Amino acid sequence: MSAKHALFVAFILLSCSLPFGVIDRALSDYFPLETGNYWNYVTQDGDTISARIEGDTVILGDTAFIYTFGSDLYYFFKADNGIDRYYYFVTYRGGDKVVLEKRIGSYLSLPLIDGYARTDSFSNTVVVVNDTFQCFHTVDLRISLVGDLSVGDRTFHEVYSAEITDSRRVDSPLGTSASERHEVLCLAPDVGIIRKQEVLAENGDTVAYSAELIGSNLLGE
């Protein structure tokens, strides 16, 4: 058997062993990371907000895509099993910076599979002179099939929901601080995020917002 035929047979066997639709989703891009891509959204208050892939850079030896969502800045990486993110967190001791987290970790698993769940955990301890700082960080992911979803005057098909809960606790000589960001991303094939809901709870304060897609270069605009 030629190498070409062997590869074809291996692909067919792999396809038969995967859940229905996984191959189609593997060929679709639910989180397009290409420089120049942009998305425009309208919030629940009627304000517009833009997301854009500004370019790329190198972080910890890997190529990262610079993604902005309004004033928020993220660094995302294409990985074999999905999308990774750069996590960087600091606190301060007096006027000195204490780096508690500086790593590339999991963000979104691909291809999307209904019912899939995963937890990525990280912890670190830093001692400065006689002061101990501890950081505990978890990122929980849960994938659900939505199916058809209408956003504005468009209907998207094969939409999936990704619920991402990012929780961090820091223990330091000054006490304990905690934050939790809960995102619900509705993802459409070859478009990306078409709806986003987010709740941020930090040290007793809570901020929530939602946004829906109104335009993108990926829609031929």
Q: Which domain does 103 fall in, by range?
A: 3-219
Q: Beta-carbon neighbour count of residue 143 at 10 Å?
A: 20
Cis peptide before 189 (omega within 30 of 0): no
Give the model's pLDDT for residue 94. 87
CB-neighbour burial class of residue 220 (10 A; exposed 0-12, middle 13-18, buried 19+): exposed
- What is the 8-class DSSP label of residue 163? E
Instruction: Decide if pLDDT at 5 tops 70.
Output: no
Q: Give residue-wise pLDDT tens across range 166-210.
A: 999 999 998 999 999 999 999 999 999 999 999 999 988 999 999
Give the model's pLDDT for residue 95. 86
Query: Could you write out the DSSP letters of every residue in 168-180?
Result: EEEEETTEEEEEE
What global pTM score does this model have? 0.86
CB-neighbour burial class of residue 113 (10 A; exposed 0-12, middle 13-18, buried 19+): middle
Number of structural domains in the chain: 1
State mean pLDDT over 66-77.
98
Written as six digits, the tokens of 39 are 């998305």
Give the model's pLDDT for residue 221. 73
Give the model's pLDDT for residue 10. 40
Q: Give residue-wise pLDDT tens across range 123-143.
A: 999 999 999 999 999 999 999
At 21 the three-state DSSP class reads: coil
Q: Give residue-wise pLDDT tens across range 6-23.
A: 433 343 344 444 454 444
